[in-house]
Structure 1
């Protein structure tokens, strides 16, 4: 007698949610809507700037945006992506200001 967990009928028609990835149907945006950007590359570039608390938060928001899109929440992904873009931009600008200030300070002495 086969165990219940290895039974094809039990695994195929189980009421338990699967822990595997969702199908690609959940990630496709509806017609007329474009896929929102998560700005992950910009957040990774911002991680090289010396404004660490801000750029780490930007990276987290970017990953959250990507996860939200995978779950099918397009509005949430768009909102989180915009926050990631804002924080990454602030981090890059702040990093440039800090680097320029350090270079000016070191060359003036």
Structure 2
């Protein structure tokens, strides 16, 4: 909440992480460029895939909530026409669960998959 309060004070209404240019939102390439500058083998798709696997395998959130959290579009035009809600409260609860999962220290030994 402190981050949001700071962003509001800075005049960033509507975006927690505003873009660096005149557009108010981060570019769709912002995270990919960050990972590239970090010289990492990690991909944005990998982050998204990890989230989706976690949500499917360890939570009871519906397929629709998980897909909407990833901003996936609905391929079926009839289904898309009838789904007009944003599932905001359910997505918020999903993101809170994800934040809890990501911020909980794991016990055990970490083993490197690749030798650098």
- Common fold: TM-score over 0.5: no
Higher helix share: 1
Larger Rg belongs to: 1
Using the size of structure 1 for normalisation, the TM-score is 0.31
